[in-house]
Every structure is written in structure tokens, then in C-alpha cells.
Structure 1
Amino acid sequence: MKTYSETLDYLYSQLPMFQRTGAAAYKNTLGNTLVLDEIYGHPHRSFKTIHVAGTNGKGSVSHMLASVLQEAGYKVGLYTSPHLVDFRERIRVDGAVIPEGSVVDFVGQFEELNRTAKLEPSFFEITVAMAFWYFQQAKVDVAVIEVGLGGRLDSTNIITPELAVITNISLDHTALLGNSIPLIAAEKAGVIKSNIPVVISESNDEYNEVFSRKASEVGAPIYFADKEYSADYSMLTTDGKQRFNFHRNGELHLEKLEADLLGNYQRRNVAGVLKAIELLNDADWNISTEAIYAGLKQVVINTGLRGRWEIVGTNPMVVCDTGHNEAGIRQIVEQIRLTAWKELYMVIGMVNDKSIDDVLALLPSEAHYVFTQASIPRALDAHELAGKAEAAGLRGKVIPDVKAAVAEILEVAQPHDLVFVGGSTFVVADYFS
């Protein structure tokens, strides 16, 4: 039997992995997933599920829902991707990561079974199968399942959930999902299933009709959360949380709702979570107002989520955020504008399949930059990034190692300055590792 280290090496080196190699690992069919599901006896049918899709915010929404459901007394599975530091972050039960022994057991079983099936699965296909298998072993009541990429052909899309949440749509993975908002929305709409409610967290004229049409075709009730729920934004509380007053249909609904996932953009994600909880309660779930308050107040404690406007240092303030596409960077820049600072330092790295020029056009020209690159094959060369940035009017140093880049900035940054680390999930992962 393999050790845990040998098992990880098998997963990373022998199976195509999108996070590292990009489009070559993408499968445009659910064939392998369906065979794996058959081999393991359809484990996802043994527990309830909630499906979360979208371009930005789906990780935050997944973790928020899991945290609230835990506070409501349910045993909760949580499947998300990618991980930041530890592979096991992808698969959690009540916040605890899957044990190393379970990873080893599953992969060992797969290799034995695959002598007959002779599948050639991707890293993601195996990981989804592992999650469903482990959640069955753990006897969870419900699992919150985050879509990996797209929706229609994503390996998670074999489930029939209690409800689906779609956060928003923006241009990302255009080579695989389409080069326009309506085309990408059509792929995400693949998670909408017959008679299953779907919540759209953030409505937009560019894609509302795509979702409404799909919902109508399959008889799925559809709800646009931000047309019912809206929030006043307030600055941070003294214990490092932010506080909202949430209104429902114009009337005060939840006063002084505290969230430990920081960032003004989270108000849109919370709206989707609140509508989803309302629909679950309508379906005879038991999620109290107290569970909502407690769950949103301690998402990080309950689920281990990191990298969403995460303050990792003070004097100077150091913030990490995994936002990485045009819409995500736009939200980050908005948050930077809402934050007090004297000098702004940006440690930025990107992957090579993003709309680099569009992202660079959004970044603040007054910042001091260090261009870096994550330790994955998809990372854009730091020197190439610096060249593109200079053409966009952004100048700075090139330090390819993420930790070395941050360390150099901290040598010069002062107590009232802001140091931002991001541009890619994998830059943040390198910083945390």
C-alpha cells in the first residue's frame, strides 16, 4: 500500500490536473465521472446536497452555507477547489479535513478497481469521486458541493441537489467556456435541474435571461437574491469582522449581522446565502436566525476558509485575496479604495490563461509593485508580467519567488501602509505554504 506522500505524488503527477497544467486536463464529458459513480455505488445519493456555481464568490458562498448548516446542528460535508496548502482542504466534514488514511484507502481502492475499468480520469474527476465516497463513509446529513469549472460538464454535476446557487458570471476560462457572458452563463446554467430551486445571488442584465430561460425549460423555480435582499455596509468591528444591516423587500430583516469573511463584495454573497436558507426552511429544514448569525460570524473557524480579503499582518496591514479574474480584481480594487492607507504596495502574480491586459488596466497606478510568479507550470513568467504591466503604466520590481517578494516589501513598508498579495489563487497559496 502507498504512503500518503506516495498517494499525493500519484494524484499530482500521474493524473491531469487543471490547476497546474490548464486546458489539457479539462474533460468535455461526464463519462469518467458516471463510471466512477457506478463503481462506487452512487454514494452521493446517500445524503442531501446543495450545489454552488458561478465565476466569483462560489467558494465564499459554499463555506458560508456550510458554516450556517453546522451551527444549525447538521453534519455537513464540504467539497471545494482548489486547495491552498493541503490537498485535504478540498474535502471536509464539519470543518475537519479528510484524514490522510482515507485518501490513501480511496486511491488504493481505485487502483485495484481500475484494473478492470481501465479509466484514465483527471485529477478533478478522482477528487470528486473521493469526496462523495468519503461523505457517504462519514454519514453526513448534507454536503455543500462547489462546482470546479463551468457547470454543465463539471464532474460535480451528477448530483440532484436540494437547491442550486449561482453567484455571478464574468469572463473567465473563456477558451473552455466561451468568450462572452451569455455563453459562459449557458455553461453555468447546466446546474439548473428539473423542479429544483435555483438562487442567483447577483442579477445582471447580461445573463438574467439565460438563467430564466433555462429554469423555465426545466420547470425550476428561480430567485434573484439581490432583488429581495440588500445590505448597508459598515466598516470593520473592533474584533476584525464587518457588520451589515440586511433588508428584505425594503424592510429591516437582520440587524447587525456580523461576517468574518471580509470585503465589501461579500454583501452580494450573503444575499444569496440568505435566500438559499429561506428556501431550505420553506422545505422544512430547521435553520434558526441564531444559526445564521453564528454561522456567518465564524465561517473561518467552522470551515477553515482562507484567502478572502484575509488580513495576515498589521503595521503595516498585509492582505491576501485569491480574486484572479477581471471581475474579482475589480472587487479587490474597490475594497482597496475603501481601506485607509498611506502607501500602497502590490505583490502581484498571474496565470498565463487569464485576460492579463484587462486585469492590469484595473490596478491602481499609484501603487508600488513587485511582480512575482507562483510555483506552478501555469504561472505567467514574472518578467513577462512586468513587461505587460509597464505597457499599462504600472512599474515595479521583479522577484519571481512569492515569499521573497513579500519579504522585500516588508523591509520598506511602514505601519500605516497597505501591502496586498494576490492576482492568483496560487500566489496566495505560495505565500501561505
Structure 2
Amino acid sequence: MNYAETIDYLYNKLPMFSTMGCTAFKKDLTNTLILCERLGNPHNKFKSIHVAGTNGKGSVSHMLAAILQQSGYKTGLYTSPHLKDFRERIRINGDWVDEDFVIQFVEKVKPLIEKIQPSFFEITVAMAFAYFAEQQVDIAVVEVGLGGRLDSTNVITPELAVITNIGMDHTNMLGNTLEEIAAEKGGIIKEKVPVVIGEKHPATAPVFTSLSSGKNAPVSFANDQFILNEYNFSHQFLEIQVQERQSGTIHKYVLDLPGIYQTKNILTVLQATDILRKIGWNIEDQDVFEALQHVKSLTGLSGRWEIIKENPTVVLEVAHNEDGIRQMVDHLGKLNFGNLHMVLGIVKDKDVTTMLNLLPQKANYYFTNAHIPRALEAKHLQEQAKLAGLKGITFDNVNEALKTAIANASPDDLVIVCGSIFLVAEIEKDEV
């Protein structure tokens, strides 16, 4: 098989959560352990950082990878889902996994695929671990796919575990309360492995403290260690002033990730970096500063308040659950622009009603859907949005919706595409 045929085989042969939802989620680690054993247990051949959380885990993973890379370490990065190309999921120092490796890996494990019928995610995790081991990375940042305890990535024993925050998402699989969801995500906490919690919440902090105590794992909460003093932002950069609580030392950073929600993620990253230093990783202050200013170019991160056009300003934002939409709306409230045009698509298994009720009524809506089975059909989205006081027209294709929004917008207007990672993935940036 060539690369295109190989990817086609993976997409069509293996159940994908992105298209099928919870039916593709395997609720144990058996297949991943079998795959890894057949491959010589590659997950034991490199050091790692494990990152979980409801929101922010992608941004935090990319920022940590950028810092380690800038510090001179050969750094692997495993994230999901991809936006355009499968190989985005597996990177070393920002470079995608080689096509030849993907082809050879799939050919090698094909008999096992036929035998144990793994999910798409289980295969991609095993592929990433095999690649990182073969390439002898110094360390890999591994983002959890879903939850933590039963996620395929949870076969690693990392140098550090990071849990960004806990919100109400994937409740049909992770639980109906913050405490239940925290317990699932806290499943990545390992014996004596330090863990950083990004946001301290009264409902979830006791869960993490108890889990960490049971594993003899030192736990720290980022906002116990750092204070956000102030921030300024533009469409391209976010300037942040952070203070260490204990010493009072003030640090100033410029991020090329301008979403205001990154003010929370940066505290998590700084605390994680502090722990990495304490356990022996050589990370200079200047490397942190440089890395945070160039996260996109170092790692290839996209879709987080990503500006793809000016006059009118067009933003791609992968906010896709209640907390993500809330943070996005908070950001919108701090901007100056003319009229707001929202190109919106949501998947069926989200809390659609809650998300819609958070969105501003004073906006022009262009309802659409990604072309995956999980997507909520544009007409149905329009009907539910109407109940929330949101009015607009429907499109079957997000690019047609965006084209219409831009045509209707004045130069000082803001156009934003949001609601689903898979919707943002279908945007043809070159045609905007």
C-alpha cells in the first residue's frame, strides 16, 4: 500500500471516535497493551509527560513541547484529533511522522489488527510510541484522547502528569458530576510520579488530593504557585505578567497564542516547567520565554484563536464544549469590532442547548455541520438555536457558510468559525 491507501485502510477498517462517538471508545487498555507488547513495549523506551483535562490540554501539550524543544531536547508530541493530515498527531520537534513509517507500521501490525480489532485511536497511540522509541526522543509530551483512566495513552509511566482542568464534557462516558469526571481524568496519576493540576476547584481538588495520596504522588495546584497579575492582547499575541506567590518574583511573557483562555493554561505550563526543573530537566528562563513566543512555529499548533484573514478579521476557534464556549464568549466581550458573524457547527453528543444559551444573541449566525456522522445537521442546529434566541441561515458546507459570512461582513466586523474541532478542520484556508 502507498500512504493514501494506508490511511484509507485505517479510516475504513478501524472504529473512530471522531466519526462514531462512544461506540468506538474501548473501555480498557487490553488492545493497547497487546499492541505494545508485540512491538517490544516501545512506551517503556522513552521518557514522557502525560497531559489530561477537559479543556486546554492541547495548548498545554504544545507549549510544553515547545519549551523542551527550545531547551535542546529531541521532543516527541502526540495529540489528537488532527485537523488536516493524519501525521499531525505524531511529531518530533514539530516535524510530522514520516509517511514511510506510517506505511511500514501498518503493514507490520495488519495481521494483529485483523485479529484483535483495535480502535483507530489504539493503533495511532501504538504507532506514536513505536515512532518515538525508534527515533530515540529525549522526551515525549503525550496528550490524553478521552478521560484518562481508560485512555489508550495510559500505559505510560511518565516523568510528570498534568491535568489542566475539569469541566462537563463527554458525560455519557466519564460521569455526570465534576467529581466523577475528575476521578476518570485522575486515572493518569501514577505511583510516585509528580502531578500538576491546572485549576483548583472546590469540587475536584479533594479528588485529586486523595488520588495522589493513594499513589504517593506529590501534587501541586498551579494557581497555588502562580498569580496572573495582568494581561494585554491583540489578535496575534497575548502579553502576560505572572507572579510567583512564594518569592514575589514577576515574569513577563509574550505568547503567540492570543486566546484569553491561555492565561489559565500558562500557569499550568509554568508550574509543570518548575517541576521538570526540580526533577532534573535543564530548562533556562530564556528558553521558556522564547518558546512561548513561538509555539506555533515550533510545534505547528493551529485552531486556537487562529487569525486567517484581516478586514474583516476571520478567526478559527476549536471551542467545542460548555467551558470552551464560555471562555470564547469572555474573549469576545473584551474585543472591539463592528458586527459579529458566527459560523457554527456542533456534534450531537455535546450539551448543545447549554452551549447555544451561552452564545451572544446579537450576532449573525451561519449554521452548518462537519461531514462526519456525529455532526448535528445544520437544520436541526438552526431549530435548537432559535429556542436560544439565535437566528441565522443554514449551509451544508462550512466553506460556503464562511464565504457568505465574509461577503456579508464590513471590514471592521469579526467572523468566527467555532463549535467543533471537526468543523474547523474542514476550512480551506487557502481559499479564504
User: Partner of 2:61 in structure 1?
Assistant: 62
**1:23-422 correspondence runs (5 A):** 23-113=22-112, 118-236=115-233, 240-249=236-245, 253-422=249-418
Q: 1:221 corresponds to which letter in structure 2? A: P
> Please, what is the CA RMSD of the aligned residues?
1.2
Alpha-carbon shift at residue 190 of structure 1 (Å): 0.2
Q: 2:170 corresponds to which letter in structure 1? A: H
3-state SS in 2 of match to 1:156: helix
Alpha-carbon shift at residue 297 of structure 1 (Å): 0.6
CA offsets per residue over residues 37-58 of structure 1, 9 Å max, x none?
1101111111100000000000
3-state SS in 1 of match to 2:116: coil
Q: Which sections of structure 1, spanning at least 5 residues, go unmatched?
A: none
Task: Work out the number of aligned pairs and report it.
Answer: 429
Q: 2:116 corresponds to which letter in structure 1? A: L
CA offsets per residue over residues 178-214 of structure 1, 9 Å max, x none?
1111111110010011111000011111211111111
CA distance in 2, matches of 1:119, 1:112: 9
> Does the 8 A contact of 2:60 with 2:265 survive in 1?
yes
CA distance in 1, matches of 2:358, 2:112: 50
TM-score (normalizing by structure 1) = 0.97
Alpha-carbon shift at residue 121 of structure 1 (Å): 0.3
CA distance in 2, matches of 1:242, 1:168: 21
Q: 2:64 corresponds to which letter in structure 1? A: L
> Does the 8 A contact of 2:54 with 2:166 survive in 1?
yes
CA offsets per residue over residues 52-108 of structure 1, 9 Å max, x none?
000000000000000000000000000000000100000000000001111001000
> Does the 8 A contact of 2:230 with 2:242 survive in 1?
no
Alpha-carbon shift at residue 267 of structure 1 (Å): 1.2
CA distance in 1, matches of 2:230, 2:331: 12
Alpha-carbon shift at residue 252 of structure 1 (Å): 5.0
CA offsets per residue over residues 289-309 of structure 1, 9 Å max, x none?
011001111000000000111
3-state SS in 1 of match to 2:329: helix
Q: Which sections of structure 2, spanning at least 5 residues, go unmatched?
A: none
CA distance in 2, matches of 1:377, 1:281: 45
Alpha-carbon shift at residue 113 of structure 1 (Å): 4.9
CA offsets per residue over residues 339-373 of structure 1, 9 Å max, x none?
11111110000000000000001000101111000
> Does the 8 A contact of 1:233 with 1:264 survive in 2?
no
> Does the 8 A contact of 2:232 with 2:240 survive in 1?
no
Alpha-carbon shift at residue 316 of structure 1 (Å): 0.8
> Does the 8 A contact of 2:144 with 2:151 survive in 1?
yes
CA offsets per residue over residues 119-175 of structure 1, 9 Å max, x none?
110000000000000001111000000000000000000000001000001111111
Q: 1:168 corresponds to which letter in structure 2? A: N
3-state SS in 1 of match to 2:251: strand
CA distance in 2, matches of 1:49, 1:16: 27
> Does the 8 A contact of 1:246 with 1:252 survive in 2?
no
Q: 1:286 corresponds to which letter in structure 2? A: N
Q: 1:129 corresponds to which letter in structure 2? A: A
3-state SS in 1 of match to 2:301: coil
CA 1:432–1:189 in 2, change beyond 3 Å: closer, same or farther?
farther
> Does the 8 A contact of 1:245 with 1:252 survive in 2?
no
> Does the 8 A contact of 2:67 with 2:287 survive in 1?
yes
> Does the 8 A contact of 1:62 with 1:146 survive in 2?
yes
3-state SS in 2 of match to 1:390: helix
> Does the 8 A contact of 1:373 with 1:401 survive in 2?
yes
CA distance in 1, matches of 2:19, 2:51: 23
Alpha-carbon shift at residue 251 of structure 1 (Å): 5.5
> Does the 8 A contact of 2:304 with 2:318 survive in 1?
yes
CA distance in 1, matches of 2:297, 2:99: 21
Moved more, 56-65 or 20-29: 20-29
CA 1:400–1:232 in 2, change beyond 3 Å: closer, same or farther?
farther
CA distance in 1, matches of 2:402, 2:236: 23
Moved more, 406-415 or 227-236: 227-236
Q: 1:172 corresponds to which letter in structure 2? A: D
Question: Identity of aligned pairs, percent?
Answer: 50
CA 1:386–1:113 in 2, change beyond 3 Å: closer, same or farther?
closer
Alpha-carbon shift at residue 232 of structure 1 (Å): 3.1
User: Partner of 2:423 in structure 1?
Assistant: 427
Q: 1:369 corresponds to which letter in structure 2? A: Y
> Does the 8 A contact of 1:263 with 1:308 survive in 2?
yes
3-state SS in 2 of match to 1:68: helix
CA distance in 2, matches of 1:107, 1:275: 38
Q: 1:227 corresponds to which letter in structure 2? A: D
